[in-house]
Amino acid sequence: MRKVFWDDPYQDKWVTRVTSVAGDQVQFDETIAFCFAGGQESDKGYVNGMPILDSRHENDVIIYTLPDGHGLAQGMEVVMTIHWPRRYRLMRLHFAAELILEIVTRKYGWEKVGAHIAEGKARIDFKSDTNANTLFAAILADFNDIINGNKPIETGYSEVETQRRYWKIDGLAQVPCGGTHVRSTGEVGLVTLKRDRPGKGIERIEIRLVDA
Ligand SMILES: [Zn+2]
């Protein structure tokens, strides 16, 4: 299964072929519909206009759940589409979270204990006893430098057989990640940070896009 959302994350419409059907569980030759991984939520996708109800990873393939009576059969050519405004917000917030994580772990040595990227906001949970509010100005100063520098974001395979992916910014970092990524830091744009404390010794940082 070719994961087009990795090679070409800007596609919102793709002609593909059904490779397997087992009841409502369907697999495709190529796909643009991202399935939950690394904290990034799944895309809202459609096949010939029918909504993808669910998706899951099984080894290297993604299995999609289609509505009962979908009428798809092996070998059939279909059109897959995704809800692009949602995906684009997820991509931008995902990378915003990547950068905040890099900055916080390097500057303060905080350990990440969780992360989630939704359409409206991303959050990262860190192990820390320091109030994150006191650091936001310094974190955002570094973040804005990277955004305003409009640095290219390179992505690729670190290992093809196991489908391990990375993103890289020259001179900044190379990080393993199987998410979908924008082409440059300028596309991420500016963000706001908000502290939310879910438990003792855990600092939760929420990230929102300023313009979305
Ligand atoms: Zn990533």
Report yes or no: 100 and 115 within 8 Å, Cβ to Cβ.
no
Instruction: Walk me through the domains of the chain, giving residue ranges and CATH numbers.
Output: 2-82 (2.40.30.130), 86-209 (3.30.980.10)
Give 126 Cα–ligand 1 centroid separation in angstroms.
Answer: 17
Q: How many CB atoms lie within 10 A of CB 132?
A: 22
Give 201 Cα–ligand 1 centroid separation in angstroms.
Answer: 25
Give 67 Cα–ligand 1 centroid separation in angstroms.
Answer: 30
**pLDDT by position in tens, the chain (length 212):** 999 999 999 999 999 999 999 999 999 999 999 999 989 999 999 999 999 999 999 988 999 999 999 999 999 999 999 999 999 999 999 999 999 999 999 999 999 999 999 999 999 999 999 999 999 999 999 999 999 999 999 999 999 888 899 999 999 999 999 999 999 999 999 999 999 977 789 999 999 999 87
Q: What is the pLDDT of residue 106?
A: 96
Q: What is the pLDDT of residue 185?
A: 98
Give 146 Cα–ligand 1 centroid separation in angstroms.
Answer: 16
Q: What is the pLDDT of residue 31?
A: 98
Q: What is the pLDDT of residue 20?
A: 98
Phi-psi region of 95 (alpha: psi -120 to 50; beta: other; left: phi over 0): alpha
Give 178 Cα–ligand 1 centroid separation in angstroms.
Answer: 6
Using alpha carbons, select from 80, 103, 95, 86 the residue that is nearest to residue 26: 80
Give 23 Cα–ligand 1 centroid separation in angstroms.
Answer: 33
Report the alpha-carbon distance of residue 122 to residue 138 in Å, rounded.
19
Give 167 Cα–ligand 1 centroid separation in angstroms.
Answer: 7
Q: What is the pLDDT of residue 147?
A: 98
Alpha-carbon dihedral of residues 100, 103, 106, 109, nearest 10 degrees?
-50
Q: What is the pLDDT of residue 117?
A: 97
